[in-house]
């Protein structure tokens, strides 16, 4: 696929997943589609790279779930606007968690913090040298 040339490392895969999850929320207008579509799209790439399934799950949560209230035409955005009594763009500057978390998630992955790898026996490790990915590189 066209994206495969950009998916050379764990942090590039996480970055692309974060971006596609946000864009899915934005264009598809629903939080569930913003999680399901990128999740099913990138699951084979996470498996091929030897990343644990929890990495995909966490990445989808880091952006797909928490960016939804910031988009006015999603169900979450409409709910938050009605509960708070203000428009989404009014409370957006104060929703620090919602717009900072995807940035922190990418930076932590780029720094190698909190990356979980799948071992050949199916167990999970944070040590890449014991992972399926290390065996594929050898």
Please report how many Cα atoms fall inside a 13 Å half-sphere around the Cα of residue 99, on the Cβ side: 10
Q: What does the alpha-carbon distance between residue 124 and residue 54 come to, in Å, rounded to a whole number?
A: 9
Q: What is the pLDDT of residue 114?
A: 84
Q: Is the pTM of this model over 0.95?
A: no
Q: What does the alpha-carbon distance between residue 103 and residue 99 come to, in Å, rounded to a whole number?
A: 7
Where are the chain's structural domains?
3-137
Q: What is the pLDDT of residue 79?
A: 93
Q: What does the alpha-carbon distance between residue 79 and residue 136 come to, in Å, rounded to a whole number?
A: 46
Q: For each of the chain's 138 residues, which pLDDT tens digit applies?
A: 566 666 777 788 899 999 999 999 999 988 999 999 999 999 998 888 888 899 999 999 999 899 999 999 999 999 999 999 998 889 889 999 999 999 999 998 888 888 888 887 878 888 766 655 555 555
Q: Are 64 and 38 in contact (CB under 8 A)?
A: yes
Q: What is the pLDDT of residue 1?
A: 57
């Amino acid at each position: 696929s066209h994206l495969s040339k950009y998916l050379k490392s764990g942090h590039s895969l996480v970055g692309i997943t974060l971006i596609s999850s946000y864009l899915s929320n934005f264009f598809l207008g629903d939080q569930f589609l913003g999680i399901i579509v990128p999740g099913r799209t990138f699951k084979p790439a996470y498996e091929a790279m030897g990343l644990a399934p929890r990495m995909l799950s966490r990445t989808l949560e880091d952006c797909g779930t928490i960016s939804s209230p910031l988009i006015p035409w999603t169900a979450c955005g409409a709910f938050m606007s009605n509960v708070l009594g203000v428009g989404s763009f009014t409370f957006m500057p104060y929703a620090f968690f919602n717009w900072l978390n995807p940035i922190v998630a990418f930076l932590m992955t780029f720094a190698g913090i909190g990356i979980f790898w799948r071992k050949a026996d199916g167990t999970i490790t944070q040590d890449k040298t014991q992972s399926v990915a290390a065996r594929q590189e050898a």
